[in-house]
Structure 1
């Protein structure tokens, strides 16, 4: 989900709406421009229609600037069809079935692979051959469907990690932990120093899903994590139990009443120096530090190693980008637009409005980035695997109705892990077909 909308609409509400569309029953709603029955011909001169969920004023203006630059450079007219961010997600199925715009904004992960498997997203594998130089292998992996073909062009991303204030660490003599045991030892020291070790705000429902992701892929590895999200692994099995066992070790260091606190308040506690660390995305906590005038005193480290077999080779970095219609009205022109979107120039034009995210292209000029962004670039480029965040990597209904409630239940009562995972496994059956 776009970070600017997280603070204004319920992420859970949006997930519910998206889940409703995944039944693939056509409903009245978001309409694309043009006729889906066109042959996809054209000589590359356009015009191209662009379906956009960049509905808030700042991102809308930033995308407009990107498209204006594209038209000036390529001479191809683009007609932008902007819809409310939440409505776009809720009505995505009817939008795609009715005939999507030539190019449309979307997300990497399960949400992409699901619609690609239903032949509702255009195969751009051939185009990707010319785009590969802009991206890492992990980003290509995130843009690929279950059939091994590419369906997505990354535009920008932001990593999740453990965020902290370097000035506080320096003042207190704290050292960045590399292993989970070191992490727990650091939290123990913070607690003794009367600092809340781990800021946590779960009132919004989704933030702690990110902590589950980090612990799960550190405990069990990337492949198990994505397979679990796809319903291919047993939620009641020993590997998931191990994830919750590791998480339980952290809970005594959590900010009290995390279920009654939103993520903004939790991030503010790190900003104020009342809390030492927080598992969150750079967009979210970066907003709070930017407004507070302390963005230069914000740093992060990769979630510590749990199993040496998996090390720290997987990170979470949700990727926003664009896909193509199955039958674009002018395929050559639509390819031109996606090619431009893949460039560092286009992405950095957009990011002039956002000091907390980074261009997806590995060719972006880091000289234009602040210190936080420069570290984010290195972090993403060095990752072997990139996950998208639980609600983008799994069935949205499972995320909103099972995962959030289960995480909340775990935080309330971490002493019945066996009962918890059995309940999750039972509830998951209605969302995943073996």
Structure 2
């Protein structure tokens, strides 16, 4: 599920707002509408915070699930602002802090005592979760956060336009650049990667045969392959074949479905919208390998539910999370497949999800299984911002990749030292 289309910001990727961890003082209060005092249930008042998903019916679904819960009044803050992260982290510092909230697993939330240990509610069903989702939420053997949906991201394209231009599905980044050139006309750009290029930073790293961090939590992105990838991205950026300044960002399918481009980086959540707009004239492929040593990659983004460990209602919030995101399988499947397509993190639900069994969704699942990279809990906001800066300096501006990566290394090493000593 994508963000609201008034946002120029990726909601679905692994790349989060750097402002997220900053205590944006001016945003501290959510205004008078703090969403407390929902209907249904009795006794305890719980507040949950969600970013506004773009697909119709999502807000109603989350509120419908909450209304069915009888042990507490659960109200929902549905944050339409593009600043979901900065709003969330600013609000967590105030008395208006939500009892539970959705976000991505990040180790600083664990180290700062912001999120509650959910091992006791997840352990009984742990073997039913995708092991990669468990790993990405685990610190020192304890599990923080329940994954709600997995969101693979890849390239969507129009086979009819490929046929017309005599283009085959790219298997390398060079072929992607050639395809973008052949598909560009006076009305259509060959390729769209999102307005700020943030969504493709990690795929560029992975497809160059590198990684964000290695198993020892050391820098693994600063390689000759990634440098080569940055140079190729710069070439693409200046080629005239890349759609720049689109009306909506990468997570919204409009750029491709309305004919502004022939290939668009986007997420599996948008498949129903693509199919509605384009019928059978839609295909997908992973981010192609950047170097000979690299291999194709797929971002496996997604959202997880966390309990605010500093709130007044930790036990009640955990009980609600268990009820909804562990026990209520029908709601979990509804959330994953009725409003956009996502892969349910629970194997038992994924196996039963008929909408993902055939056609394009099944291909998306296959690409995710074959080439997917999940969240790394040690890859923090500041590190993410560091790689965004690299992209800005080397691709948007013509900076030296080695110098930009050296600057990024300083930021990342400072963070690593803070977190791991």
Q: How high is the TM-score relative to the length of structure 2?
A: 0.74
1:211 paired with 2:206, answer no
- Deviates further, 335-344 or 293-302: 335-344
Deviation at 1:151, TM superposition (A): 0.7
- C-alpha contact 2:117 2:143 (8 A) present in aligned 1: yes
1:271 paired with 2:257, answer yes
1:76 paired with 2:65, answer no
* 1:338 aligned partner: 322
Aligned with residue 161 of structure 1, among 154, 157, 160: 154
- C-alpha contact 2:156 2:263 (8 A) present in aligned 1: yes
CA distances 1:20-74 after superposition (whole Å, capped 9, x unpaired): 139xx9995368979xxxxxxxxxx9747242225578432110122344x2xxx
- The structure in which a higher percent of residues are helix is 1
Aligned with residue 363 of structure 2, among 357, 367, 375: 375
* 1:41 aligned partner: none
Aligned CA distance change for structure 1 residues 27 and 133 (closer, same or farther; 3 Å)? same
Aligned CA distance change for structure 1 residues 262 and 28 (closer, same or farther; 3 Å)? closer
Root-mean-square deviation (CA, aligned residues, Å) is 4.5
Aligned with residue 359 of structure 1, among 344, 348, 366: 344
Deviation at 1:161, TM superposition (A): 1.0
- Alignment: residue pair count: 398
Aligned CA distance change for structure 1 residues 371 and 214 (closer, same or farther; 3 Å)? same
SS of aligned partner of 2:394: helix
* 2:85 aligned partner: 89
Aligned with residue 135 of structure 2, among 137, 141, 150: 141
Aligned with residue 125 of structure 1, among 114, 119, 138: 119
- C-alpha contact 2:63 2:76 (8 A) present in aligned 1: no
1:386 paired with 2:374, answer yes
* 1:18 aligned partner: 20
Q: Which structure carries more relative contact order (alpha carbon 8 Å, separation 6+)?
A: 1
Aligned with residue 8 of structure 1, among 6, 9, 14: 6
- C-alpha contact 1:46 1:333 (8 A) present in aligned 2: no
Aligned CA distance change for structure 1 residues 268 and 84 (closer, same or farther; 3 Å)? closer
Q: Aligned partners of 1:254 and 1:347: how far apart in 2?
A: 43
Aligned CA distance change for structure 1 residues 139 and 428 (closer, same or farther; 3 Å)? closer
Q: How high is the TM-score relative to the length of structure 1?
A: 0.72
- C-alpha contact 1:366 1:374 (8 A) present in aligned 2: no
- C-alpha contact 2:36 2:45 (8 A) present in aligned 1: no
Deviation at 1:275, TM superposition (A): 3.5
SS of aligned partner of 1:119: coil
Q: Aligned partners of 1:64 and 1:194: how far apart in 2?
A: 42
- C-alpha contact 1:143 1:151 (8 A) present in aligned 2: yes
Deviation at 1:420, TM superposition (A): 3.4
